[in-house]
Structure 1
Amino acid sequence: MERRSFVRGAGIAGVLAAGTAPAFVQAQANIRWRLASSFPKSLDTIYGAAEVFSKKVSDMSGGKFQISVHAGGELMPPFGVVDAVQNGTVDMCHTVPYYFFGKDPTFAIGAAIPFGMNSRQMTAWMLHGNGLKLMREFYAQYNMISFPGGNTGSQMGGWFRKEVKSLADIKGLKFRIGGFAGKIIERMGGVPQNIPGGEIYQSLEKGTIDAAEWVGPYDDQKLGFYKVAPFYAYPGWWEGGPEVDFFINTKAYEALTPEYKAIVEAASMTAHVDMQAKYDALNPTALKQLVAAKVKLMPFPKDVMDAAFKESMAVYADLSKTNPNWKKVYTDYAAFLKDQNLWFRFTEGQFDRYMQSAKL
């Protein structure tokens, strides 16, 4: 189940795509699984990755391995999917690990933590560092195995009813913010709210919350946040490159043949790459349309960014002293990130800064 397995799986995918399915696929038993998503069907990007995965599994198995995809709330609440996989109520789920930081903050490292890795760095750590190994060791405590299932890329900082001009404006702010980042907002004086994507608009419209973040322009436009909160902040410093995962019940996965396991791995990587490619393709047009609709883009003030960074580092240090799971994973994560940032500083960073100022 290391990166070599993903390569073998991709090879199988290519053979099957060419229409020359080997005999072992014909010999496999018919399997029917259920996948519970944490996302509504209306979000064709993040929810859609599970459908991409399901279709690839079916195509590569000649239709013998079928996985039905169920939207958040259809089988259980959106944040109930990990319990369902752990208990074997469903075979697998598609979700963002940091939703479950309340079980153990270490879940958040498997997705995104404030001022953490960007999407390329995260995939590098998972596939060619120790990320996949360490996170799977942790998830095994919950009777499940993980597979990369997408990445949104760096996110926006959310929608606000009022402009944030300084750190003082965070005080008392009721902010829908996903997962672990709520701990940082709380230390900054805000009031974090963990609300599923399908319920955010109503909460923002009714004034139950003052601000909300989701992903970026394409999804946010579909959800209509700009209609009730005109200020659109950036950057989403808590989500530089959040990974979305497939979690599979350990018993269900181990019951698969080696060939079906390879198909699952190959299909997960197809979905993983496809999600961010779709976001990157769709976000620019959506952002232009939002600006045309009088949305006010708002960079977070420097004192907000500085306070968030300071509090994040303090939380990580505290957790490293008190949580063995966190310390084991974060120590490796932080070392990998340090080297990645050194590399990106000289290449990606300089190139991107120049290109973003150039007039094409």
Structure 2
Amino acid sequence: MKRRDFLTAAGAGVAASAAVAMPAIAQSSPEVKWRCTSSFPKSLDTIFGAGELMARSVAEITDGKFQIQMFAAGEIVPGLQALDATQNKTVEMCHSASYYYVGKDPTFALGTAVPFGLNTRMMNAWFQFGSGLTLLNEFYKKYGVVMLPGGNTGGQMGGWFRKEIKSVADLKGLKMRIAGMGGQVLARLGVVPQQLAGGDIYPALEKGTIDAAEWVGPYDDEKLGLYKVAQYYYFPGWWEGCAALNFFVNDEKLAELPKAYRAALVTAAARANESMLASYDYKNPPAIENLVKAGTQLRRYPDDVMDAAYKESSALYEEIGAKNPDFKKIYEDMKAYRGPAYQWWQIAEYTYDNFMIRARSRG
């Protein structure tokens, strides 16, 4: 079911309930208490905060009748087991990132980000008005969950390096903290991917156990203090032109909800989806200024690195698609939208942004 169809159906339930006198609503609305486990710690206030906003909004819309309690990673289950906990009904829902579960199936990556995928606004458009959400939820049905968009970081940075990267040759043998498909692509360019939790990145860089690391962007990276142990900060994060977060809801538990509560949940998730991006857009500009003032050296990835990464990404998708029909179907749909979307972007958004950037540099 597409999101707009879901909203229409859910909205019908809201309209029907509105026709009943308020005292009757209060008497007939059941008290529902859910638990939502997050894949993120509370210290990531921008990401964890989106889950808190969703839960608060559900309570406000239902006059406190439908309560969702948020739990940080590790309080109920470890962060990377959030989806499993939702599948087996340990919790009713979770707030996570689909690409954390590529070990189950590489198709999971398409719900969050793939190298050289969509930018943030394109991702939301593909979810809501294209076939993205419908196709993904057909896939997620195999795992007993329904996905609602749950935030986006926007375009991410390309990581911290202890030495300057001037060409693809400089990547050979480099040990870099990076996971997922970005790590698979870099491995094809000679990088040795390392998987580390966020709290382990700083000491690993400081001790030289790793040579580079990616996390999110200026606001979150500044908190980790990575600028103190790695001088060069690269862009763009071509493996995450955006990173969509996801609310996964157990499908049986969702079906048990009254229609009005389902509508409340969809509305609250949409609010959280928009709020997270706005928060990052507001907090990243001063954070990048702080990092530069602290001595960070901003560097753009060389063209040969970008070209080689793009080529290897395309080859990787061909290889996965040849063996995995789910991945092929959804990726090809995304790719078909990406072409004309960037053509329109080039006409309107890029030309405007390019002018404003040049105007700013001229003072």
TM over 0.5: yes
CA distance in 1: counterparts of 2:8 and 2:199, whole angstroms: 36
* 1:298-309 map, 5 Å: 298-309=299-310
2:339 aligned residue:
338
8 Å CA contact retained: 1:79, 1:196 = no
Equivalent-residue separation in structure 2 for 1:177 and 1:103 (angstroms): 18
Q: 1:324 matched to which residue of 2?
A: 325
1:135-150 aligned at under 5 Å gives the runs 135-150=136-151
**AA partner of residue 94 (structure 1):** H
Matched AA of 2:290: Q
Residue 173 of structure 1 deviates from its aligned partner by 1.6
Change (3 A) 1:216 1:23: farther
Structure 2 match to 1:264:
265
Specify the code of the residue in structure 2 equivalent to 1:98. Y
Matches within 5 A, 1:284-303: 284-303=285-304
CA distance in 2, matches of 1:22, 1:214: 50
Secondary structure of the equivalent of 1:347? helix
How far 1:4 moved relative to its partner? 4.5
CA distance in structure 2 between the partners assigned to 1:275 and 1:265 by the alignment: 16
TM-score, normalised with respect to structure 1: 0.93
In the alignment, does 2:166 pair up with 1:168? Answer: no
Q: Deviation per CA, 1:268-290: give whole Å up to 9, x if none.
A: 00000000000001110011011
CA contact (8 A) 2:234 2:300 kept: yes
The Cα RMSD (Å) is: 2.2
The farther-off stretch of 223-232 and 49-58 is 223-232
**Paired position in structure 1 for 2:100:** 99
Alpha-carbon separation, structure 2, partners of 1:254 and 1:105: 27
Judge which range, 119-128 or 186-195, deviates more.
Answer: 186-195
Matches within 5 A, 1:81-92: 81-92=82-93
- Which secondary structure does the structure 1 equivalent of 2:180 belong to? coil
Contact 2:11 2:260 in 1 (8 A): no
Q: Does 1:41 align with 2:4?
A: no
Q: Say whether 1:123 aligns with 2:124.
A: yes
Rounded to whole Å, the distance in 2 between the matches of 1:21 and 1:304 is 62
For residues 147-177 of structure 1, the C-alpha deviation after alignment (integer angstroms, 9 at most, x for no partner) is: 0000111111011122212111211222122
Give distance in 1, aligned partners of 2:92 and 2:161.
38
For residues 229 and 291 of structure 1, the distance between their equivalents in structure 2, rounded to whole angstroms, comes to 13
Residue equivalent to 2:311: 310
Q: Which residue of 2 aligns with 1:181?
A: 182
Q: Secondary structure at the match of 2:47?
A: coil
Amino acid at match of 1:205: E
Q: Which amino acid aligns with 1:48?
A: G
Q: 190-199 or 76-85, which moves further after superposition?
A: 190-199
DSSP 3-state at the match of 1:203: helix
Change beyond 3 A, Cα 1:183–1:29: same
* Residue 5 of structure 1, CA deviation: 3.7
Alpha-carbon contact 2:161-2:211 (below 8 Å) kept: yes
Deviation at residue 328 of structure 1 after TM alignment: 1.1
Give, in angstroms, the shift of residue 10 of structure 1. 8.3
Within-5 A mapping of 1:223-242: 223-242=224-243
Residues 89 and 340 of structure 1, relative CA distance in 2, 3 Å threshold: same
Instruction: State whether residues 13 and 259 of structure 2, in contact with CA within 8 Å, keep that contact through their aligned partners in structure 1.
Output: no
Q: Say whether the 8 Å CA contact 1:12–1:263 is kept in structure 2.
A: no
Query: 1:243-254, aligned counterparts within 5 Å?
Result: 243-254=244-255
Contact 2:152 2:273 in 1 (8 A): yes
| Consecutive unaligned residues in structure 1, runs of 5 or more | 14-19
Q: Secondary structure at 1:46's aligned position in 2?
A: helix
- In 2, are the aligned partners of 1:234 and 1:299 still within 8 Å (CA)? yes
The verdict on how the C-alpha distance between 1:43 and 1:22 changes in structure 2, with shifts beyond 3 A counting, is farther
Deviation of 1:8 after TM superposition, in Å, equals 7.5
Give the drift of 1:196: 3.2
Q: Distance in 1 between matches of 2:48 and 2:10?
A: 23
1:47 alignment partner, SS class: helix
Whether contact under 8 Å (2:32, 2:66) holds in the other structure is yes
Specify the alignment match of 1:68 in structure 2. 69
Report the Cα offset of residue 105 of structure 1. Answer: 0.9
**1:197 Cα offset (Å):** 2.9
The 1:72–1:217 alpha-carbon spacing in structure 2 relative to 1, beyond 3 Å, is same
Flag the 1:307–1:50 CA change in 2: closer, same or farther, 3 A.
same
**Deviation for aligned residue 1:11:** 10
* Aligned-partner Cα distance in 2 for 1:129–1:281: 28
Q: Tell me the alpha carbon deviations over residues 29-68 of structure 1, each in whole angstroms, 9 at most, x when there is no partner.
A: 2122111111111111111110111110111111121111
Letter in 1 for 2:80: F
Letter in 2 for 1:125: W
The structural deviation recorded for 1:342 is 1.3
Question: Could you list the runs of 4 or more consecutive aligned residues of structure 1 that deviate by over 6 angstroms after TM superposition?
Answer: 7-13
Q: CA deviation at 1:82?
A: 1.2
Aligned twin of 1:193: 194
Amino acid aligned to 1:321 = A
User: Cα distance 1:355–1:6, how it changes in 2: closer, same or farther (>3 A)?
Assistant: farther
What are the ranges of 5 or more consecutive residues in structure 2 without an aligned counterpart? 15-20
Partner of 1:111: 112
Q: Does 1:51 align with 2:71?
A: no
Identity of aligned residues (%): 50
Note the C-alpha offset of 1:207.
3.0
Give yes or no for contact 1:232–1:296 (8 Å, CA) kept in 2.
Answer: yes
